[in-house]
């Protein structure tokens, strides 16, 4: 584990605990921010009161704001960050491409097309939500990529198919927006596409938690297969891995996780790219450590991004995708620079 | 256990690459696969390794058709060292060799002290015990091949396939790798370019030309002036080495005419 800043199992357990504590703390911070500032102590009191564990003195209005609005928002931010980062880690290992992230499969483009079809063309006539349209669009893009990548599902073909899917669905989105939308609608589509945690509630938390939990377990079950892909597909095959099956299962899990997160919060880029590299730097390439670490760091990153998005533009809330991209692009440049140096 | 290849064919699209190859490698034997560039050595090895399904024919390990074995069961019997292993991941020598234990583990089976012992033995076998924490990216070509060989040994296979393991290595490392391979008590097939190294380290050799096996036998039987001229298009003199008795090929740097 010389690649990483690792000093043994105790060190790992300690950092995992520290990261968990940090996550709890930033969630408490995120809950405190808003028109009515609430201290982390009050937040903790309200949360454990709400769980029926204590009966500490908390103002009813504060308890209501925490439980009805802010806690669900912070938890969705954490869960989506974890899900998108985990998807990125899986794709980078599966496609053996350090620049891969969920949107390389055209999932974001598909989500956009699905969302504008519901919003502007009135598909589902009010019974379907924007989120559901985005979910269907993401899965449509994924199916398109799998079919286009063909029987072998090789890494290069999958990435090329993803690029083609992105182009196709972006073109469809632009077509629909330019022919159907007025300026106000176009603005709201844009805002939604850049990601927002406004308006998320407890059912969204349950959905995101369920999908993330199932996704993380499936990915952990394939951790050794992902390790075996370090030297490519033939090397993994000769280690007894059924590469084609693993690829299809993990691509499907990634698509499902990304589509769910995008349907809840919009298309937030760069989390899937940035976070896995940061996690790999800390815990090394072993996927049994890397995958949980990536999910944890992704959750931290997204809650922090949410805090930043509400602080730097206040009283306006910046789209969350703007914040993640502003951090993500310089990181992208560093990866490119290092990849060039390694040639 | 032996490796038996029967009337094997493999095509890439419409192009026939391996055409009706049959050969048998006895238990514990080191078999050299020779032939010019594009003669189908790597393709034949990939089909024998089960990485590509044959268009026709079959491969058996100790009588069991590899098509009947699950990928994991096959990987426990047969290990492969590829010609040029690359990765962008920052992995250590130890982590690469640990990959060799993959076919011995299911989803939930824990890593055990036995695994550690096997990995340590494999590292020691290739003389890299002191390099276990070194990063793959910082290794020389020769060290990388030895790490891949250690990873293959950690699979605890009975059969070993190596695709030009001496490519890009200096002569000292070429000899080192082949000495190591020929010393192992495994049934081994190794694709090689260097006829003299093949003559020195292989029990038997087979020569491929345009996907067909055109000669097979001991280096003495196979490596003749006539065959070298016909298959490689180079004039050569072949004589037993005064040093070790194996055939020694000296190229005359002229057209075979």
Question: How many helices (DSSP H) and strands (DSSP E) are in chain A?
Answer: 15, 0
Distance separating alpha carbons of residues B46 and B10, to the nearest angstrom: 10
Domains of chain A plus CATH, in order, are 9-342 (1.10.3470.10)
Residues of B with Cβ-Cβ distance to A96 under 8 angstroms = 87-88
Closest listed residue to residue B75, CA positions, set A227, A235, A46, A39? A235
Residue of A nearest to B72 (CA): A240
> Do A112 and A169 contact (CB within 8 A), yes or no?
yes
CA-based nearest distance B76→chain A, Å = 8
Distance separating alpha carbons of residues A251 and A107, to the nearest angstrom: 11
| B60 in A contact zone (CB under 8 Å) | no
Who among A3, A235, A238 is closest to B135 (CB)? A3
Q: Residue A8's pLDDT band (boundaries 50, 70, 90)?
A: low
Q: Residue B88's pLDDT band (boundaries 50, 70, 90)?
A: confident
* Mean pLDDT, residues B106-126: 93
Closest listed residue to residue A106, CA positions, set A138, A150, A134? A138
- Residue B6, classed as helix, strand or coil, is strand
> Do A240 and B151 contact (CB within 8 A), yes or no?
no
* Mean pLDDT, residues A252-265: 87
* Mean pLDDT, residues A190-200: 79
Who among A230, A235, A241 is closest to B89 (CB)? A230
The upper half-sphere exposure of residue A298, i.e. CA atoms within 13 Å in the direction of its Cβ, equals 33
The CA dihedral of A11, A14, A20, A25, to the nearest 10 degrees, is -120
DSSP string, A114-152: HHHHHHHS-TTTTSS-HHHHHHHHHHHHHHHHHHHHTTT
Residues of B with Cβ-Cβ distance to A224 under 8 angstroms = 102, 105, 107
| B49 in A contact zone (CB under 8 Å) | yes
* Alpha carbon distances (Å) from A14 to A18, A19, A52, A300, B92: 6, 9, 30, 17, 23
Distance separating alpha carbons of residues A268 and B101, to the nearest angstrom: 38
pLDDT digits (tens, 9 = 90+) for B6-42: 999 999 888 999 999 999 999 999 999 999 999 999 9
Q: Is A167 a residue whose pLDDT tops 50?
A: yes
Q: Is B116 a residue whose pLDDT tops 90?
A: yes
Who among A224, A238, A339 is closest to B105 (CB)? A224
pLDDT digits (tens, 9 = 90+) for A9-54: 677 788 889 999 999 999 999 999 888 888 888 998 998 898 888 8
Who among B89, B103, B133 is closest to A239 (CB)? B103
Residues of B with Cβ-Cβ distance to A235 under 8 angstroms = 80, 82, 85
Secondary element (H or E) of residue B171: helix B171-183
B3-12 and B15-25 as β-strands: parallel, antiparallel, unpaired? Answer: antiparallel
Distance separating alpha carbons of residues B191 and B205, to the nearest angstrom: 9
- The pLDDT value recorded for residue A4 is 46
> Do B147 and B96 contact (CB within 8 A), yes or no?
yes
Alpha helices by DSSP H, listed for A239-319, are 243-265, 271-283, 287-311
The upper half-sphere exposure of residue A94, i.e. CA atoms within 13 Å in the direction of its Cβ, equals 33
Cβ-defined contact of B107 to A237 (cutoff 8 Å): no
Higher pLDDT, A153 or A195: A195
The upper half-sphere exposure of residue A22, i.e. CA atoms within 13 Å in the direction of its Cβ, equals 15
Min mean pLDDT across A231-240, B6-15, B153-162, B248-257 is at B248-257
* Alpha carbon distances (Å) from A24 to A44, A74, A251, B147: 10, 10, 30, 43
Who among A228, A284, A285 is closest to B102 (CB)? A228
Average pLDDT, chain A: 85
Structure tokens at A258: 């990304």
Q: Which span out of A9-13, A141-145, B205-209, B230-234 was modeled with the highest average pLDDT?
A: B205-209
- The pLDDT value recorded for residue A2 is 40
Chain-centroid distance, C-alpha A333:
20
Please say whether the dihedral angle defined by the alpha carbons of residues A233, A234, A236 and A242, taken in this order, is positive or negative: positive
- The pLDDT value recorded for residue A198 is 81
Cβ-defined contact of A96 to B103 (cutoff 8 Å): no
Residue of B nearest to A243 (CA): B71
Q: Is A339 a residue whose pLDDT tops 70?
A: no
% of chain A with per-residue pLDDT over 90: 33
Q: Residue B95's pLDDT band (boundaries 50, 70, 90)?
A: very high
- Residue B153, classed as helix, strand or coil, is helix
Distance separating alpha carbons of residues A165 and A110, to the nearest angstrom: 8
Q: Which residues pair with B31 in a beta bridge?
A: B189, B204
Secondary element (H or E) of residue A163: helix A155-180
DSSP for residue A292: H
Residues of B with Cβ-Cβ distance to A245 under 8 angstroms = none
Higher pLDDT, B17 or A108: B17
ipTM of the complex: 0.90
Distance separating alpha carbons of residues B94 and B175, to the nearest angstrom: 24
- The pLDDT value recorded for residue A340 is 56
Q: Which residue has the tokens 């990995």?
A: B119
Residues of B with Cβ-Cβ distance to A217 under 8 angstroms = none
- The pLDDT value recorded for residue A101 is 84
Residues of A with Cβ-Cβ distance to B70 under 8 angstroms = 240
Q: Give domain B3-255's CATH number out of 3.40.50.300, 2.60.120.200, 3.40.50.1370, 3.30.460.30.
A: 3.40.50.300
Q: What is the CA radius of gyration of chain B?
A: 19
B159-163 and B78-81 as β-strands: parallel, antiparallel, unpaired? Answer: parallel
B3-12 and B159-163 as β-strands: parallel, antiparallel, unpaired? Answer: unpaired
| A239 in B contact zone (CB under 8 Å) | yes
pLDDT digits (tens, 9 = 90+) for B54-65: 999 999 999 899
| A286 in B contact zone (CB under 8 Å) | yes
Q: Quick count: other Cβ atoms within 10 Å of Cβ A171? A: 12
Residue of A nearest to B82 (CA): A235
């Amino acid at each position: 584990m010389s690649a990483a800043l690792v000093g043994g199992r105790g060190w790992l357990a300690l950092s995992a605990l520290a990261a968990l504590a940090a996550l709890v703390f930033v969630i408490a911070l995120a809950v405190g921010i808003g028109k009515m500032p609430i201290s982390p102590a009050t937040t903790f009191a309200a949360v454990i009161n709400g769980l029926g564990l204590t009966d500490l003195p908390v103002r009813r209005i504060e308890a209501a704001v925490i439980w009805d609005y802010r806690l669900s928002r912070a938890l969705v931010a954490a869960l989506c960050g974890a899900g998108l980062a985990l998807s990125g880690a899986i794709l980078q290992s599966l496609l053996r491409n350090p620049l891969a992230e969920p949107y390389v499969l055209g999932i974001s483009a598909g989500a956009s097309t699905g969302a504008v079809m519901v919003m502007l063309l009135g598909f589902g006539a009010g019974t379907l939500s924007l989120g559901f349209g985005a979910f269907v669009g993401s899965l449509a893009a994924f199916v398109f990529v799998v079919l286009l990548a063909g029987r072998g599902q090789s890494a290069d073909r999958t990435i090329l198919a993803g690029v083609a899917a992105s182009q196709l669905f972006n073109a469809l989105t632009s077509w629909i927006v330019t022919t159907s939308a007025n300026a106000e609608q176009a603005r709201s589509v844009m805002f939604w596409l850049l990601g927002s945690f406004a308006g998320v509630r407890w059912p969204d938390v349950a959905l995101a938690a369920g999908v993330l939990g199932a996704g993380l377990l499936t990915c952990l079950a394939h951790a050794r297969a992902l390790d075996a892909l370090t030297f490519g597909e033939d090397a993994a095959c000769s280690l007894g891995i059924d590469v084609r099956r693993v690829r299809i299962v993990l691509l499907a899990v990634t698509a499902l996780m990304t589509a769910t997160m995008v349907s809840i919060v919009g298309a937030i880029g760069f989390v899937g790219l940035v976070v896995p590299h940061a996690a790999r730097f800390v815990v090394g390439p072993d996927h049994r450590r890397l995958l949980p670490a990536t999910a944890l760091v992704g959750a931290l990153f997204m809650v922090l991004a949410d805090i930043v998005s509400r602080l730097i533009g206040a009283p306006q809330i910046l789209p969350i995708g703007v914040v993640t991209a502003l951090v993500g692009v310089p990181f992208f440049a560093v990866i490119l620079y290092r990849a060039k140096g390694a040639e | 256990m032996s490796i038996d290849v029967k009337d094997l064919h493999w095509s890439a699209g419409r192009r026939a690459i391996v055409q009706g190859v049959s050969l048998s490698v006895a238990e514990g034997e080191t078999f050299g696969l020779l032939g010019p560039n594009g003669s189908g050595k790597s393709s034949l090895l990939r089909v024998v390794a089960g990485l590509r399904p044959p268009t026709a024919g079959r491969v058996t390990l100790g009588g069991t058709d590899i098509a009947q074995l699950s990928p994991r069961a096959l990987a426990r019997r047969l290990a492969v060292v590829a010609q040029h292993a690359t990765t962008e991941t920052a992995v250590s020598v130890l982590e690469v060799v640990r990959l060799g234990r993959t076919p011995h583990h299911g989803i939930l089976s824990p890593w055990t002290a036995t695994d550690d012992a096997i990995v340590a033995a494999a590292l020691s076998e290739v003389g890299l015990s002191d390099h276990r924490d070194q990063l793959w990216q910082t290794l020389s070509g020769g060290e990388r091949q030895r790490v891949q060989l250690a990873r293959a040994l950690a699979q605890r296979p009975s059969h070993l396939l190596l695709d030009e393991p001496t490519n890009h290595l200096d002569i000292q490392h070429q000899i080192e790798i082949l000495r190591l391979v020929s010393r192992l008590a495994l049934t081994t097939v190794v694709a090689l370019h260097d006829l003299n190294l093949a003559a020195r380290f292989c029990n038997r050799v087979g020569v491929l030309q345009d996907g067909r096996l055109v000669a097979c036998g001991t280096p003495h039987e196979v490596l003749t002036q006539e065959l070298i001229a016909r298959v490689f298009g180079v004039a050569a003199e072949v004589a037993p080495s005064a040093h070790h008795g194996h055939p020694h090929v000296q190229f005359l740097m002229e057209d075979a005419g």
